[in-house]
Structure 1
Amino acid sequence: MSDPKRTHKLSAAGLLISLGIVYGDIGTSPLYTLRAIFNTISNVGQPITTLVVLGSLSCIIWTLTLQTTIKYVVITLRADNKGEGGILSLYSLVRKKARWLVVPAIIGGCALLADGIITPSITVTTAIEGLQLKFPWFQVIPVVITIIVILFIIQQFGTSLVGKLFGPIMFLWFATLGVLGISYVAQDWSILKALNPYYAYHLLTTNPEALLILGGVFLCTTGAEALYSDLGHCGRKNIRISWVFVKITLILNYLGQGVWLLQHPNYNGILNPFYEIVPEAYLLAMVALATIAAIIASQAMITGSFTLIAEAVRLNLWPKVRINYPSNQKGQIYVPSINWLLCAGCISIVMIFKKSINMEGAYGLAINLTFLATTILIAMYMLSKKVPRYIVVIFVLIYGVLELAFLAGNMTKFFHGGFVTLLIGAVLFSVMWSWYIARKIKNRYVKYVEIDDYYQIIEELSNDESVPKFSSQLVYLTSANFKTEIESKIIYSILQKEPKRADIYWLVHVDVVDEPFASDYKVEFLIPGKLIRIDFKLGFREEQRVNLLYRKVVEDLVKNGEVDITSQYTSLKKHKIVGDFRFVLLEKHLSKFTSLSFYESSIMQYYFILKKLSLSEESGFGLDSSYVDVEKVPLIFVAPDDIELNRLPN
């Protein structure tokens, strides 16, 4: 999408792109949703009656209406952050309203990542299992693992070329779903009674296994979050209009499967109603189409996971990891560590559960938590936009009750695989939470001093030829938000640890703002020609290439005659050779003398383990290690005055 504005406008191309990017996950839900519901019903020994079928279908239709259409398509898509969507974009819009909002943001993000491991596993497996209807001897697992491995291998090369094919293929997929559904609906028009919400109400209030059924129903809407996450790729209007077509075809297919179930009251939950309504002559073609649709659904989840991690890194919610840009397409990124983590997770899920019917228990529980988190954040967004409180209260009550009911239904799956996704989500949460809290602890112990107190000595040091020159241009990254302040550790590094004489001292500060693609800077000449501060304001989706950004600013300053970076060495100055640059990074470590509480100490120990596993400071900021010095400093400096010591008499 080299031109986002073009794809954001309502157009045939925009609608087609939306079909290919947005609806992969929710579009493949007919593969397994009804089978999950009626497998549960048959396992508890309930007969498949007309009321149960109509009630289940009604639950699906009204879940798609309340959860997907009203909550996401109508309400949540309004919360765009300069055209971008997703739970962390939403968090960026409201994070200044209350500190505790980071909790639902982290929970929602981790649950989405956990769901990203299950989606490829269940969709690809379900699609390939269709071959066993024609070839019962067919071995599904090797093929599924091969497809998953290939899918993750190609991520590093970029998917812009393949992406252009997604729209037409998904249009064919949804059209086929609709045609298959209507062919069975025409055999029994009474199935349209399921459009009446009374049947959903009757099922939930009279059926003793209502919670179990709800756990299966929830699978029909698991891809709803993608509608919001892909707002930046497709635009609000294209998503809203294309959803009308998608929703109609999904409902028709569910109704068609419902007719087949009414025709087979002795259904045992093993066969897949989705493939049963496919004419035998077209079965292989349908398996091929379902497999491609499953791959597209998986691709959408993988891409979404990359974007989410990149945003989390820039919002300081995840350790720094390598982020590559495999193509010139705006927003297309590749995160190697997350790619192979997801790949290993998918293969493990397939190997552990073996059949898609066993994976259904693990699916849905994690994403349910994302829905709840989005409800909380959207409510706060509505309040910030001065929406009347009574409307916000009604919104929270409706969706709070609905999603808590789904959570209760999904919790019935806990011992049938649900614990797997919760375990994955919990591990991811521990990483995000520890990284966030560790930063808070670190900031608490950062000591700032007034920088103007040191103007004279810095200028004198720069001109003191008795001190060996450390570098012509000396650059420090500072976390001080105000130009009047500087970390005491930077002053200590310049003046005391090893006096560092330089022609010009640079302070570089990076501030991640709540806009997605901001790229601004400001220059302050604290000591003209000697001490210069650059403040970058970068969006949470912008790549933080500090080295390139800094050099670009310096080039502009030189071009405007605002600074002279010519080497001051006599021999080099004569030939107007540019002086050398050196970055000094101050890396904190936990001293054994540190007196933190057990909780904070544990968080910091975990943080430093994660830090060792993550990208180095110089790589994280895009610096060349050949001109970077890393100085280790204690997180908490223990002064001699803090130590009690008694001197014994001679």
Structure 2
Amino acid sequence: MSDTQLNRKKISIGGLLISLGIIYGAIGTSPLYVMSAVFRDTVINAEVVKGCLSAIFWTLSIQATVKYIILTLRADNIGEGGIFSLYALVRRTKFKWLLVPAVIGGSALLADGVITPSISISAALEGLRFYNPDVKTVPMVIGILFVLFFLQQFGSGFMWKPFGPYMTLWFLTLGILGVYQLQNNWSVLACLNPYYAFHLLITHPFGFTLFGAIFLCTTGAETIYSDMGHSNKKNIRASWAFVKTMLLLNYFGQGAWLIAQEGRTLQSFRGGNPFYLSMPESFIPYGIAMAVIATIVASQALISGSFTIINEVIRLNLWPKMRIKHPSLLKGQLYIPSINWILMFGCIGVVLYFKESKNMQHAYGLAIALTMLMTTTLLNFYMHMKRYNKYFIYLIITYFLLLELSFFIANMSKFTHGGWITLLIALILIFVMTIWHLAKKIRKRYVEMVRLEDHQQKLIDLSHDNSLTKYATHLVYMTSANNPEEIEAKIIYSILQKRPKRADIYWFLHVDVVDEPYRMEYKVKHVAVDDIIRVDFRLGFRVAPKINLLFRKVVEDLVKNKEVDITSRYQSLNKNNVIGDFKFVVVEKFLSYDNDLPAFEKLVLNIYFIMKHFSMSEAKAFGLDSSSVKIEHFPMVISQPKDLSMRRIN
């Protein structure tokens, strides 16, 4: 990412283009399906159209503008946003249960990442039915999805640059198309009055259900906050004025066209989508092509966002370790192969199951509402932490919770019509995060720690014991002990008893994941001069723990400061200034059969170790060079069984 893009202090052309190309992709494609979702099964009625337009205006104004643009963007975690960045800010409070809304919201957002490419690309391609009502769009959607996910492995850096200019053109086109229809009926602008929305809700027999479809206009509002790290708050807020204006012009233009067709149904028109039907007929082919490209842009942003979320939950110890690649130099650009293919098969499965975009809308709305509810919950604690006026907090949070809960219930009314798909995907993700988190807590509770000073002299004596063959010049262990005065008993056992490992210097490395996204610090403690050294890394939750590279930098600094001598201590090699070898030992545990655990903890740990079997090894997760790593497996004996009554016989 360029310096302009990273500038956190001012509005720039580059920053505005990034906001338009990456941050507003999802919300920018919502006009494709919102109006068709509202009128899919009903006769077009002018009063309903006016009520919908009013509801769309006020939903975008309050939900997107007030909640996200004005309030949530203030929850800036060193320039980064998103539900886990927000959780990282508020977890400093005494309320440990705040992990729950973070996990639920993050899972729903990942479910959204499965449904967004499916519904948006499907809706765009369904415009072809204007020319051929029997055209099969499913194979085309699957083909585009396959190509999109296949290209992820090469990095999306080459794709980001044209996104901004193209989405600028897209939004301008939306606005112009809206004005084209508004020329026939400027009176629909009276729907800015909230009266029409309240009237629809109160008088229409299915008003509450319609609001569930109307809520789709906020699709992508959550990504405004999640993708904040790509630009900055000033650029996002400045570009929102343009985006919102163009979106509203298009919605109101579709509304003007719908009012002119009062008494008819969308099914009576070729294509049946007011987004395309409100265009000049000669422009429809170009409109379809532009919509397909715009939905690909929106999908790319959601896919990249999904990789970022998974990377965050891995670093926060809520997900199995996975292989993460950095295919381009763009800041934060990630590629997680396993997640990429899971997302692809998930999207293809959704397309094959629902077949048409109109059938996906209820599943989509549920994911959006659930994510927003969880963000509001965390935002409440953030505002209290920042000492906002308490009456303002109660008023604004209560309003958002009631609004989002209403939309959630409205979408739940169509649970059997596809809403269950969202909850199923979210529940699977919640299950994995919950098991991983609980297992880590159980393991941590039972891990046996010993005082390092009680074994310090033994390590020094072993280091100088010439009767033993030297195992390595530098022996490096990864430790989970937060307290620098302690060390795992298994590590001491590995050094002293499981083939005594003589080394000139013993290194103990500990990684602490901090709440700031890109923090990179380290602290060195010389436990025993020239014999035992501990290094504590403090890494942000978005920093890849490439211990090989980070440790090398630490050693270089220590050598430069003359705090350590890393030349080999073999006389022949020392004389020629040959650097000593570094050997990493990683202790991996497996669940022993010799355990007497409570049933629930045993179930959690069994599932955990099954998942761990399919995850990346600790050595690879820490970015250690396999040629210099020794993996040692230890049985995890958490609770010894009771004494056995055994009698000796002759």
TM-score by length of structure 2 reads 0.97
Q: Give runs of aligned pairs for residues 322-361 of structure 1, distance below 5 A.
A: 322-361=323-362
1:92: which partner in 2?
88
Instruction: Note if 1:128 corresponds to 2:152.
Output: no
Q: Give runs of aligned pairs for residues 414-433 of structure 1, distance below 5 A.
A: 414-433=415-434
Q: Is the 8 A contact 1:474 1:582 kept in 2?
A: yes
CA distance in 1, matches of 2:535, 2:328: 30
2:257: which partner in 1?
260
Instruction: Note if 1:621 corresponds to 2:622.
Output: yes
2:218: which partner in 1?
221
Q: Deviations over 1:529-580 (max 9, x none)?
A: 0000001111111111011111111122122221112222233233222222
Quick check: 571-580 or 100-109, which moved more? 571-580
CA distance in 2, matches of 1:118, 1:631: 42
Q: CA deviation at 1:518?
A: 0.7
1:83: which partner in 2?
79
CA distance in 1, matches of 2:8, 2:505: 46
2:443: which partner in 1?
442
| Inter-CA distance 208–330: structure 2 relative to 1 (3 Å threshold) | same
- Match for 2:175 among 170, 173, 178? 178
Letter in 1 for 2:608: Y
CA distance in 1, matches of 2:591, 2:465: 35
Q: CA deviation at 1:21?
A: 0.8
1:149: which partner in 2?
146
CA distance in 2, matches of 1:74, 1:528: 54
Instruction: Note if 1:60 corresponds to 2:46.
Output: no
Paired residues, number: 644
Q: CA deviation at 1:9?
A: 2.5
Instruction: Note if 1:188 corresponds to 2:189.
Output: no
2:156: which partner in 1?
159
Letter in 2 for 1:329: L
CA distance in 1, matches of 2:617, 2:422: 30
1:543: which partner in 2?
544
SS at match of 2:92: coil
CA distance in 2, matches of 1:6, 1:525: 39
CA distance in 1, matches of 2:128, 2:439: 51
Q: Give runs of aligned pairs for residues 171-570 of structure 1, distance below 5 A.
A: 171-270=168-267, 271-570=272-571
CA distance in 1, matches of 2:263, 2:351: 29
1:17: which partner in 2?
18
CA distance in 2, matches of 1:638, 1:136: 67
SS at match of 2:497: helix
Q: Is the 8 A contact 2:11 2:235 kept in 1?
A: yes
Q: Is the 8 A contact 1:467 1:501 kept in 2?
A: yes
Q: Give runs of aligned pairs for residues 557-636 of structure 1, distance below 5 A.
A: 557-636=558-637
| Inter-CA distance 392–342: structure 2 relative to 1 (3 Å threshold) | same
Instruction: Note if 1:70 corresponds to 2:66.
Output: yes
Q: Is the 8 A contact 1:521 1:536 kept in 2?
A: yes
CA distance in 2, matches of 1:142, 1:48: 31
Q: Is the 8 A contact 1:211 1:412 kept in 2?
A: no
Mark the runs of 5 or more structure 2 residues left unpaired by the alignment.
none
Letter in 2 for 1:506: W
Letter in 1 for 2:192: L
Q: Is the 8 A contact 2:447 2:638 kept in 1?
A: no
Q: Deviations over 1:398-435 (max 9, x none)?
A: 01100100000110221111111111111111111111
Q: CA deviation at 1:135?
A: 3.1
CA distance in 2, matches of 1:239, 1:172: 17
CA distance in 2, matches of 1:321, 1:2: 28
Mark the runs of 5 or more structure 1 residues left unpaired by the alignment.
none
TM-score by length of structure 1 reads 0.97
Instruction: Note if 1:116 corresponds to 2:117.
Output: no
Q: CA deviation at 1:251?
A: 0.9
CA distance in 1, matches of 2:6, 2:365: 34
Q: CA deviation at 1:334?
A: 1.0
Q: CA deviation at 1:39?
A: 1.3
| Inter-CA distance 99–383: structure 2 relative to 1 (3 Å threshold) | same
Q: Percent same amino acid among aligned pairs?
A: 54
Letter in 2 for 1:127: A
Q: CA deviation at 1:6?
A: 3.2
Q: CA RMSD in A?
A: 1.5
Quick check: 299-308 or 352-361, which moved more? 352-361
CA distance in 2, matches of 1:118, 1:31: 15
Instruction: Note if 1:2 corresponds to 2:2.
Output: yes
Q: Is the 8 A contact 2:597 2:639 kept in 1?
A: no
Q: CA deviation at 1:137?
A: 4.3
Quick check: 584-593 or 271-280, which moved more? 584-593
CA distance in 1, matches of 2:382, 2:276: 43
SS at match of 1:363: helix
